[in-house]
Amino acid sequence: MLLAALACAARAGERSAEEILQAADAIRNPPGSFSVRLQLTEYRQGRQSANSALIVYARPSVDSGQYRNLVQFVAPARDAGKLMLRNGADLWFYDPSSRASVRISPQQRLLGQASNGDVMTTQLARDYRAEKVGPELLKDGEGVQRDSLHLRLSALRDDVSYARVDLWVDAADDRPLMARYYSAEDRLLKTAYFRRYETALGRVRPTETVIIDGLDGGWVTVMRSADHATREVPEAWLQRDYLPRFRAQ
């Protein structure tokens, strides 16, 4: 075990923080265009209080490499048909009942501890500057002690979801294990555990994120992903003017 730990530390020392973050991004996000179904469930003091289902369509930008996203609300029934669009720094919400699209913030809460930005596919390495804090022993979301690498991420722009993120990845394979998200005032907003790793679109990825409020540990949101599929996401879908005409296929 000691030799394994030393080997992981040596491997981490050979790579930059940015390279480690890019490797973690590749585990979280499939390459190319794809769709995925998200189920969000909110719990208050252990009791389910709300839930929502979404389908996320993601396509990387040719220019920046960052993902552009169209999010379709599926459930509950009162929200079915609503849409969110992220194209570059612009984030829009569309309600078919009013046929109006309004600009929103990625920090805005969507359900429980999950914000608008949390359900969007993002490449953290494109939005944050990474630095190594060091190797640490961490209890992951399954309760298993793991050798991890602690990265500190600082936002490169004001329009990203969080001003600072502390991210822990598995020292052996770069799997994201846990993250803490902070405001511009350095206040802890939430803690997230990435778990239930399963094969999806060619490699093992986390299919469940447990998000815990920074002040109230009894306020928890669980985000589960399923039905990953490689698919062409048309350029038209990612334009604000197209939102009233969008029909899922």
Tens-place pLDDT, residues 97-116: 999 999 999 888 898 889 99
pLDDT above 50: residue 58: yes
What pLDDT is stored for residue 11 in this prediction? Answer: 57
Q: What is the pLDDT of residues 183-242, one digit of tens each?
A: 999 999 999 999 999 999 999 999 999 999 999 999 999 999 999 999 999 999 999 999
Q: What pLDDT was estimated at residue 89?
A: 83
pLDDT of residue 14: 86
pLDDT at 1 (0 to 100)? 46
Condensed to tens digits (0 to 9), the pLDDT of residues 69-82 reads 999 999 999 999 99
Provide the residue range defining the domain that includes 174. Answer: 2-245
Based on the structure, what is the number of domains in the chain?
A: 1
**pLDDT for 15-52, tens place per residue?**
999 999 999 999 999 989 999 999 999 999 999 999 99
CATH of the domain at 133: 2.50.20.10
pLDDT of residue 3: 45
pTM, two decimals, is 0.91
| DSSP collapsed to 3 states, the chain | CHHHHHHHHHHHHHCCHHHHHHHHHHHHCCCCCEEEEEEEEEEECCEEEEEEEEEEEEEECCCCCCEEEEEEEEECHHHCCCEEEEECCEEEEEECCCCEEEECCCCCEEECCEECHHHCCCCHHHHEEEEEEEEEEEECCCCCEEEEEEEEEEECCCCCCCCEEEEEEECCCCCEEEEEEECCCCCEEEEEEEEEEEEECCEEEEEEEEEEECCCCCEEEEEEEEEEEECCCCHHHHCHHHHHHCCCC
